Amino acid sequence: MPEMKHKLEEKEKCQIEGCKNTAERSVSAAKLSKVYSKMGERKGSVRICREHYRKFKKETKEERELERLGW
Ligand SMILES: [Zn+2]
């Protein structure tokens, strides 16, 4: 039987410095650091909120396609 424990709601926060929104998307850290240089060196992916994601998309237009793929 599956355990039905009450989990703490895990809401990840946007990892952009100073942002307190809930993270809804994850993007490549390398790409993100091109837009937000403050991110510094990171590996893997970074979780960001919708607003920052929008900005990110604007700055990286070539990534547009991804949204259509059901991100
Ligand atoms: Zn954010």
39-64 residue pLDDT tens: 666 789 999 999 999 999 988 875 55
pTM: 0.65
Rounded Cα gap, residues 65 and 7, in angstroms: 35
Separation of CA 4 and ligand 1 centre (Å):
32
pLDDT at 17 over 90: no
Other Cβ atoms less than 10 A from the Cβ of 60: the count is 16
Separation of CA 71 and ligand 1 centre (Å):
17
**Which of the four pLDDT bands, split at 50, 70 and 90, describes residue 1?**
low
DSSP state, 16? S
